[in-house]
A = this chain, B = another copy of it.
Amino acid sequence: MNFASDNTGPVHPNVLAALTAANTGYALPYGGDDLTARAVEEVRDVFEAPDAAVFFVSLGTAANSLILATLSKPWETVFCHTLAHIHEDECNAPEFYSGGTKLTLVPGQGAKMTAETLRHSILAQETRGIHGPQRGPVSLTQATERGTIYSLKEIQDISTTAQEFDLPLHMDGARFANALQSLGCSAAEMTWKSGVDAVTFGGTKNGLMAVEAVIFFDPKHALEFEFRRKRGAHLFSKHRFLAAQIQSYLTEDLWLSMAKSSNDACSRLVQGLHKISDVQINFEPQANIIFAHWSRAAHQRLHAAGAQYYVLEGDYTAGPADELLPARLVTDWSATPENVDKFLNILRG
């Protein structure tokens, strides 16, 4: 019953098998190997983007920061939601990589900006000539940090607004697969067909060891990104081991089946939670994350039984038994219906 995060579980066995398979003989370093060339092609295929520039790095923060640095100037501001990972959880990495770009926090229900809140935020910037920060890229998180998902229509509306001001659109897809599986559309539809210019195509939170693909649909950004990646110390020498992970990820849609597994576990949890009185669900869970409140007594039962998850506020070990305390549950590919049901049973009391 580990619902602490989608980076605490095991790597899918296929990924380890792919690493082993890749470990034969000699290969050119720094991405010059055949495996990397093939993995790049496979990413292009998945995104129906034969000209896209594709790169692999090992951390989502690196992918996000390097992309935003490539798309922005240091005197600009990036538009992102108040709860965006790039704002809350990257310890100023985007500011560091971009040379001091600002982040403008765009509000919105359910951890999502809207075309309207974005427009309002854009209009409020670049009103002071050269004196204020200039308008820069827009960055969406899909799925969001609260487990919600932008619909295709929402993405398209946001991109229309961004394009109106000639601003590039980035998608932080640390949980890209969960969102895509939930929407049931194609990777192309969720990205360039909806106006997205660059994507962090996450793997680490979805069963890989440590790989994120960076995708620019316009290859003009390729060379600058290569320099930024190397200067940022994110160019792997034994690059075939990044490529091998991506290959196993895309083979026979493993990435989608893993996302389905975690999303299904999440849905099962949600359905169970809805049936339990005194459980309040705070956002509409559309991917693999749940924010909910339940009683301290239930928190205590769960922890006593070894369940792992974050209680977000308050001391669950002491206080009124019926006080509601907030929790976050994240399911990963390895979550099982049995564990979900066991968790619900204990919660139910």
Contact = CB atoms under 8 A, between A and B. Distances in A.
Interface stretch (A23-31, A182-190, A246-254): A23-31
A28 B8 contact: yes
A93 interface: yes
Q: Is the interface of A mostly helix, strand, loop or mixed?
A: loop
Contact of A59 (B9, B24, B205, B236): B236
Nearest to A24: B10
A230 B100 contact: no
Contacts of A197: none
Given A91-B231, A237-B204, A99 B96 contact: yes
Interface stretch (A37-45, A130-138, A146-154): A130-138
Interface string A5-40: 101111101001001100111111110000000000
Nearest to A26: B2
A58 B96 contact: no
9 contacts: A7-B29, A7-B238, A10-B23, A75-B91, A75-B230, A76-B92, A89-B128, A91-B133, A92-B133
Interface of A: 2, 4-5, 7-11, 13, 16, 19-20, 23-30, 58-59, 61-62, 65, 73-77, 88-93, 95-103, 128, 130-134, 204-205, 209-210, 224, 226-228, 230-238, 241, 308
